[in-house]
Structure 1
């Protein structure tokens, strides 16, 4: 699980920060999943070591422009990126209508299968390795946060010990690696769990934006290894946050603390905290760290590997 930030500003891009988009890279599958796709996301992709051809899933939190204005451009380019396969897009009601309207008025044809999934709170995607869930946040329009759970994996299979026990290689190894019990031709009964190291606990990544502090975000973020949460405003501007249903730095920290998250990375910062102003982004970081010390401030192209638990 490798995270790359493509945009960390709120509302509008700045000289140093694009609008919202975060990439989740799954190296073992050569896949990239995007969370939001603000204007300029495909340009940010071009300046990274990720490839547009590896994008397979896009999860949209809500339909405000700074989270979706880059979507149609990226989808149109994807068909020209060599051997396009399929993209699944997940998001709130109205997203499919938006994409179809953009296609109609721009005369855009997709040369690959595109499936748009209208999400509801709960599981929105699952395969053998991952589960993706979404939950309602509290914003001016319908908005969802997303939680990606990596399924637990069996520990490392001890090939040397298997060979010492005279276990022939082949399909039997696969069963033992999955922790199954196998009876050998000579009558030996082998418990696969005895040949595997400790179970690798799956990692949990959560993405919450845009929202004011709410129980939905806390529920999604329970025991997360990484929580990415918006922090549009400083604590001093809490009244603005409540009016616009965005979060302050202290709200983001409170979500992380209440949910028992391991690490908080804040993003979606208002341009009002640019260098030279009375309140700057480092002030937001210090506010959050006073509540939740393991807090980091995101910036464009920040790359972060979600660590495995010991």
Structure 2
């Protein structure tokens, strides 16, 4: 049985050549890898989960105070059954919150990156939520350095392309499934839009990735491992050398389907003005350029948000 590998990112400093090779090969094969040894504290992760669970337990009318109509859910709260995977007949069985990057309000990108909203009812929500945002942002930039080296780019190639990225931390609550007639999928099969996604500590099984052979492969993590996968923007930029792989969240076929499921993905985005044309290093006779039109990451994001019914 194939398995998405778990790699210790501390080896980037002690065993770089082998680590970069193993990491790159994992992404070429699966579009996914599990990263351990990242140093993000258990206290921060647990504290953030606790704050998020407290928020989702609030009455619906309280949560709806933080819903911003017309914003595509860019910040604050998005209620149950709104987001819909592309081409899916069913809305996803989840509600979620969005935390974005704190940027100066006179930044070039202020018009497309609104200020954060924080729920006053939950004391440590802001501290825990933004603390986890920053920790995952730093880890993501380390993963991208290794991915850059694997395709013969300079180590710091991505640094100035993500430092103002429109990245999102998304605490998600999948309520317990109590109706036997609901579709068997809590979040429909989809690919992510962004550069890379870091998923910290899903509280129940359910995440599955589609292999090249067309089989759904469950992903479970051990210890401190965080699941990190490639999104469509990086797939486009690397001319599909790094594939963005379909994944879904299914209802467990046991008593866990009757329990709520929480997960907190971090969607690491490039800066809004980054042009997503295939990099010359990734265009070869065997892999000719797959794109003949240019698009910025912000234009691409808007196109995709319309497809999944968020705007």
TM over 0.5: no
- Structure having the higher Rg: 1
* TM-score after normalising by structure 2: 0.28
Larger relative contact order (Cα-Cα within 8 Å, sequence gap ≥ 6): 2
